[in-house]
């Protein structure tokens, strides 16, 4: 939506504050990822046809967020499930359609998890992140791989791209974070110009945390108990390297990513069992490459490829916790992905795109009677964009073909065709900054390999789970020259979503035996509002305020005979919102952020027993920067959950109270 301006603003603010930023504003905007979308013109506000929210640059790093999941809490229409602590699982749900419907893209290519279809966003560091962008529906570009059309909502994680000014050959950024939960987190970013057209970057990070924190349960007229959260420890290392090259009218890039972690499972806090002993080891590796070139003014090509390997080892050892069953399982996933996208521009106002993707997934596990599933997915998309003075239209059609192979029973081949249409209208012309927009999208998610083939639980007769989205919204953006208020942006969307054939676990003959079925039916009616303002007071004080509000009625319409038919689905609050305020004065920077999640229920039976209290946290951070030699030094102190509120996002998973973080960063 407004990211370009935000970044400009943020950047200029940073310059005011004397931070030695690595590149000038135009350079940072000119990241390779955004070359296509951000056509540099005199216009400041990006006209987006699709509802989009973005946190980028300094703004992203001011939020006191530990990871990508923490940052996403500041977007409207998003619910994060957080099991607590630095190492606890964090998943995101866009507009209540379910975690499996969210596509997460890392530097332009989707992070897959064919096994269970969800990505733990708590694992992705913000250290080298340049922007986190959330699109409802799909990214507002027609020139993209077929897969980018394939989710109900998408999150794009864009890491930093090197850019060098005249005479610069390298950049270095060294960061050290420490604080509560025994966090030790050194990180290093190195960017090197290799030749006129090629540059490289290296980013490495180590994170260690004891995961310990105090929590309290205080019942009205009842017990009041305080304990320390255990087994939430984390030991993780991330290493990432990339090469970035420019060619005539295009670019190429290649990157490799490695992550390894060893973590405890904190588990549910229940009576007489406040801690657990099970552990998990993960190794994730991927390497990916892209090439894009405008061969003719009317023809462009984008080619991308990826190989990914994910290893998970889970251990529950009764010699450590005698109440548990011995479990020692290893899962190995591999993915190969190739895509080619072609763009044709017959007229300046008409763009056409054709793309085709091929993907191969395999899952191996040392489970008994495991069927070793392999999946081939072919995707083809045709998309078009029409741009007129006051009206823009985008339409896309995605074809998906999925073929599985196993050593046992197998799902029948699936072939689906799904459309999306996006429309925007500027009734008063461009200068007024007022846009109306609407979209319709129908898409599905495939049953995951666990849904289909997990020993005992899997059900090969599953059908894909469909979502249908209808959205109508408006945006308004104005910039002002001579007032304190320099910029005002508003966006509001109302929407209606349906989830059909929802894949849910259902019990069979007994508690030991569940299976997956296409049973659920959910309807979601919602409103997302976002307001952003930038202020300049005098010459030195800049202020930014960001407000988000979400209303959602997400009802379970699965079983008409049920007493709880139409109940709000678990953990979706009716009201939620956030506020982020930031003030920069000379070399000082003060940020305050507030998150609110209203009352909700832990079950679609909306009865008092399942009631969950609202929670709200305040985070405060203060930073000061200094010039030091060629570069700059910045120190930050963060106080999170300032009021020490004791709360749970998920029942029986207590969250941390007040906690602190101290950051030192040196950059040149």
Partner 1 sequence: MRTAIWRGRLAGGMILLLLAGGCRKEIPMIRSEADYVTMPTSPERIEGFFLVNEGNMGSNKCTIDHFDARTGGYCRNIYPERNPGVVKELGDVGNDIGIHGDRLYVVVNCSNLVEVMDVHTAEHIGSLSIPNCRYIVFDGDRAYVSSYAGPVQIDPEARPGKVVEIDLDRLAITREVVVGYQPEEMVITGGRLYVANSGGYRYPNYDRTVSVVDLATFEVVNTIDVAINLHRMELDRFGRIYVSSRGDYYGTGSDIYVIDSKSEQVIGRLGIAASEMCLDDDRLYTISTEWSYTTQSNEISYAVYDTAEERILSRSFITDGTDERITLPYGLAVNPETKEIYVCDATNYVTPGYLYCFTPEGRFKWRVRTGDIPAHIAFSEEPFY
Q: Which of residues 271-290 bind partner 1 (CB under 8 A)?
A: 271-273
Instruction: Name the strand (E) or helix (H) holding 639.
Output: strand 631-640
CB 385 within 8 A of CB 372: no
Residue 268 interacts with partner 1 (CB under 8 A): yes or no: yes
**Candidate residues 190, 616, 626, 668; the one interacting with partner 1 per rule CB under 8 A:** 616
Is-contact 454 448, C-beta < 8 A? no
CB of 570 closer than 8 Å to CB of 603 = yes
Q: Any idea which residue has 């980028």 for tokens?
A: 56
Asked whether position 249 contacts partner 1 by CB under 8 A, the answer is no
Q: Total number of residues binding partner 1 (CB under 8 A)?
A: 77
Cα(53)–Cα(295) distance, integer angstroms: 32
Nearest distance in Å: CB 214, partner 1: 15
Nearer to partner 1, 472 or 581 (CB): 581
Rounded to the nearest whole angstrom, what is the least distance from the CB of residue 480 to partner 1 in the complex?
17
- Residue 314 in contact with partner 1, rule: CB under 8 A: no
What are the φ/ψ torsions at residue 224 (nearest 5 degrees)? Answer: -140, 105
Determine contact, residues 589/632, Cβ cutoff 8 Å.
Answer: no
CB-wise, 513 or 627, nearer to partner 1? 513
Q: Is 368 in the site for partner 1 (CB under 8 A)?
A: yes
| Cβ 153 vs Cβ 95: under 8 Å | yes
Q: Are 340 and 355 in contact (CB under 8 A)?
A: yes
Residues 244 and 199: beta-carbon distance below 8 Å: yes
Applying CB under 8 A, which of residues 165, 167, 325, 560 lies at the interface with partner 1? 325
Residue 202 beta carbon to partner 1: minimum distance, rounded to whole angstroms = 40
Report residue 61: phi and psi, to 5°.
-85, -10
**Residue 196 CB partners (closer than 8 Å, separation 6+):** none
322 binds partner 1 (CB under 8 A): yes
Residues ≥6 apart with Cβ < 8 Å to 577: 76, 547, 548, 549, 550, 595, 596
Among 408, 540, 628, 664, binds partner 1 (CB under 8 A): 540
Polymer length in residues for the chain: 668
- Residue of 267, 373, 447, 598 interacting with partner 1 (CB under 8 A): 267
Q: Which is nearer to partner 1, 195 or 509 (by Cβ)? A: 509
The DSSP secondary-structure symbol of 430 reads G
Binding segment for partner 1 among 278-286, 323-331, 435-443, 622-630 (CB under 8 A)? Answer: 323-331
Binding mask 565-604 for partner 1 (x = CB under 8 A): --x--x----------x-x-x----x-x-x-------xxx
Give the x/- contact pattern for partner 1 in 401-440, rule: CB under 8 A: ----------------------------------------
Nearer to partner 1, 481 or 630 (CB): 481
| Edge-to-edge order in the sheet of strand 129-136 | 52-56, 129-136, 153-159, 102-106, 109-110
Question: For residues 377-396, which are near partner 1 according to CB under 8 A?
Answer: none
Q: Is the Cβ of residue 324 or residue 635 nearer to partner 1 in the bound state?
A: 324
Q: In 3-state terms, what secondary structure has residue 7?
A: helix
Rule CB under 8 A: say whether 564 interacts with partner 1. yes
Question: x-or-dash pattern for partner 1, window 84-123, by CB under 8 A?
Answer: ----------------------------------------
Answer for which of 414, 651, 658, 662 binds partner 1 (CB under 8 A) is 651
**Residue 518 beta carbon to partner 1: minimum distance, rounded to whole angstroms:** 9
Query: At closest approach, how far in Å is the CB of 558 from partner 1?
Result: 8
CB of 583 to partner 1, least distance (A): 6
Under the binding rule (CB under 8 A), the answer on residue 611 touching partner 1 is yes
Which of 539, 532, 433 lies closest to 484, judged by CA? Answer: 539
Closer residue to partner 1 in complex, CB, 109/623: 623
Q: Report 490-529 residues binding partner 1 (CB under 8 A).
A: 506-513, 515, 517
Q: 201 to 220, contacts with partner 1 by CB under 8 A?
A: 217-220
- Contact (CB, 8 A) for 11 and 28: yes
Give the rounded distance of the alpha carbon of 533 from its chain centre: 24
Q: List the one residue from 26, 43, 197, 225 that touches partner 1 (CB under 8 A).
A: 225
CB-nearer residue toward partner 1: 274 or 439: 274
Evaluate the CA torsion angle 8, 348, 144, 477 in order and state its sign: positive
Interaction residues for partner 1, span 453-472 (CB under 8 A): 456, 459, 461
Give the burial class of 531: count Cβ atoms within 10 A of its Cβ; 0-12 exposed, 13-18 middle, 19 or more buried. middle
Strand, helix or coil for residue 34: helix
Based on CB atoms, which residue is closest to partner 1, 223 or 347?
223
Nearer to partner 1, 217 or 372 (CB): 217
7: left (phi over 0), alpha (psi -120 to 50) or beta: alpha
When the beta carbons of 428 and 480 are compared against partner 1, the nearer one is 480
Looking up tokens 């395999």 gives 362
Per-residue tokens: 430: 């461009």
In the region spanning residues 156 to 195, those forming contacts with partner 1, defined by CB under 8 A, are: none
How does 252-286 read in b/e, with b if 16+ C-beta sit within 10 Å?
bbbbebbbebbbbbbbebeeeebebbbbbebebeb
CB of 589 to partner 1, least distance (A): 13
Q: Output the smallest distance, CB 80 to partner 1, in A.
A: 19
- Which residue in the set 299, 643, 660, 664 belongs to the binding site for partner 1 (CB under 8 A)? 643
> What distance in Å separates the CA atoms of residue 587 and residue 632, rounded to the nearest whole number?
11
């Amino acid at each position: 939506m407004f990211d370009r301006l935000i970044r400009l603003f943020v950047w200029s603010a940073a310059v005011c504050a004397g931070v030695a930023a690595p590149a000038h504003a135009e350079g940072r905007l000119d990241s390779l990822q955004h070359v296509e979308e951000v056509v540099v013109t005199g216009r400041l506000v990006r006209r987006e046809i699709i509802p989009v929210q973005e946190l980028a640059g300094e703004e992203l790093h001011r939020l006191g967020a530990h990871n990508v999941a923490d940052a996403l809490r500041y977007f409207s229409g998003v619910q994060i499930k957080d099991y607590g602590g630095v190492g606890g699982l964090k998943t995101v749900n866009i507009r209540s359609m379910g975690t499996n419907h969210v596509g997460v893209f890392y530097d332009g290519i989707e992070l897959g998890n064919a096994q269970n279809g969800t990505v733990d966003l708590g694992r992705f560091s913000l250290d080298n992140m340049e922007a986190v962008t959330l699109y409802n529906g799909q990214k507002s570009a027609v020139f993209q791989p077929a897969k980018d059309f394939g989710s109900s909502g998408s999150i794009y994680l864009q890491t930093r791209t090197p850019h060098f000014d005249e005479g610069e050959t390298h950049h270095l950024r060294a960061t050290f974070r420490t604080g509560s939960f025994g966090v030790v987190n050194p990180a290093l970013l190195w960017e090197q110009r290799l030749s006129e057209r090629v540059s490289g970057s290296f980013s490495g990070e180590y994170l260690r945390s004891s995961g310990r924190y105090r929590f309290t349960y205080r019942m009205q007229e009842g017990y009041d108990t305080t304990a320390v959260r255990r087994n939430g420890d984390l030991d993780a290392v991330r290493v990432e390297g990339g090469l970035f090259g420019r060619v005539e009218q295009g670019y190429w890039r290649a990157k490799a990513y490695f992550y390894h972690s060893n973590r405890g499972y904190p588990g549910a806090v229940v009576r007489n069992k406040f801690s657990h002993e099970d552990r998990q080891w993960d190794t994730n590796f991927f390497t990916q490459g892209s090439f894009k070139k405008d061969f003719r003014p009317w023809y462009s090509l984008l080619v991308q490829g990826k190989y990914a390997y994910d290893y998970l080892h889970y251990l529950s050892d009764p010699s450590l916790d005698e109440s548990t069953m011995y479990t020692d399982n290893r899962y190995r996933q591999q993915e190969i992905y190739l895509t080619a996208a072609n763009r044709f521009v017959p007229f300046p106002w008409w763009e056409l795109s054709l793309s085709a993707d091929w993907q191969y997934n395999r899952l191996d596990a040392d489970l008994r009677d495991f069927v070793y599933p392999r999946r081939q997915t072919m995707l083809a998309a045709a998309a078009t964009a029409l741009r007129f003075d006051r009206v823009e239209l985008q339409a896309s059609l995605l074809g998906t073909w999925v073929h599985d192979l196993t050593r046992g029973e197998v799902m029948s081949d699936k072939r689906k065709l799904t459309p999306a249409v996006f429309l925007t209208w500027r009734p008063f012309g461009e200068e007024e900054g007022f846009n109306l927009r609407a979209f319709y999208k129908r898409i599905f998610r495939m049953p995951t390999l666990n849904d289909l083939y997990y020993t005992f639980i899997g059900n090969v007769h599953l059908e894909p789970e469909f979502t249908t989205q209808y959205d109508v919204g408006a945006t308004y953006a104005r910039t002002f020259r001579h007032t304190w208020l320099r910029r005002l942006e508003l966006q509001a969307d109302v929407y209606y979503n349906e989830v059909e054939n929802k894949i849910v676990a259902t019990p069979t003959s007994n508690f030991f035996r569940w299976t997956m079925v296409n049973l659920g039916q959910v309807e979601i009616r919602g409103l997302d509002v976002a307001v952003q303002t930038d202020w300049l007071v005098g010459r030195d004080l800049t202020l930014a305020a960001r407000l988000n509000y979400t209303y959602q009625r997400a009802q379970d319409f699965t079983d008409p005979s049920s007493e709880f038919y139409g109940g709000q689905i678990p953990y979706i609050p009716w009201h939620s919102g956030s506020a982020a305020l930031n003030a920069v004065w000379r070399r000082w920077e003060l940020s305050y952020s507030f998150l609110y999640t209203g009352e909700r229920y832990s079950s679609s039976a909306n009865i008092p027993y399942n009631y969950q209290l609202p929670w709200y946290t305040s985070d405060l951070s203060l930073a000061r920067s200094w010039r030091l030699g060629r570069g700059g030094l910045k120190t930050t102190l963060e106080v999170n959950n300032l009021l020490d509120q004791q709360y749970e996002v998920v029942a029986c998973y207590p969250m941390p109270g007040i906690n602190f973080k101290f950051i030192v960063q040196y950059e040149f």
